[in-house]
């Protein structure tokens, strides 16, 4: 069954993208594919740029779209070939989330977005998914 982790941050969407880069790197080190579901094309472009400059000593193999790449960044409602790690930066839960081994939900303080993530937590909990919550407010600040 899919496990779901929530990561709470004190910063804005840019801080969330920085955390996403770290989660992506950690997943790649564990030899897991990652699909990053983002709210819009501008955010996809920002995450793409952050991954290019994330580490000076390492390349993070990624692509825009849901094509078969170790890390895919997409706004699409289709997961492509991915099934290991889903990093969800959209407010809604995609209907196909349960095909993934693990879902990572990143929360940052924007009222409507934060409420949507609370609703997501309730959705997963009511259906019996294994949940974990990590408050990184002190570690990831603007």
Q: List pLDDT tens digits, range 34-54.
A: 999 999 999 999 999 888 876
pLDDT at 99: 95
Say what the pLDDT of residue 82 is: 82
What pLDDT, on the 0 to 100 scale, is given for residue 61? Answer: 72
Mean pLDDT across the chain: 90
pLDDT above 80 for 71 = yes
Domains in the chain: ranges and CATH: 3-135 (3.40.50.10110)
Residue with token string 């955390």: 19
Backbone angles phi, psi at 122, to 5 degrees: -65, -40
Task: Single out the residue of 100, 118, 109 nearest to residue 36, CA to CA.
Answer: 100
What is the predicted pLDDT for the residue at 4?
Answer: 98
Q: Is the pLDDT of residue 89 over 90?
A: yes
């Amino acid at each position: 069954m899919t496990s779901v982790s929530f990561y709470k941050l004190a910063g804005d969407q840019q801080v969330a993208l920085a955390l996403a880069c770290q989660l992506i790197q950690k997943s790649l080190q564990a030899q897991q594919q990652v699909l990053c579901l983002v709210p819009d094309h501008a955010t996809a472009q920002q995450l793409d740029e952050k991954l290019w400059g994330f580490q000076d000593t390492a390349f993070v193999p990624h692509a825009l779209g849901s094509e078969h790449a170790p890390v895919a960044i997409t706004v699409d409602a289709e997961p492509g070939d991915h099934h290991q790690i889903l990093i969800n930066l959209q407010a809604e839960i995609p209907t196909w989330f349960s095909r993934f081994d693990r879902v990572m939900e990143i929360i940052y303080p924007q009222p409507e977005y934060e409420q949507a993530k609370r609703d997501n937590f309730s959705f997963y909990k009511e259906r019996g998914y294994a949940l974990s919550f990590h408050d990184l407010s002190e570690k990831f600040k603007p």
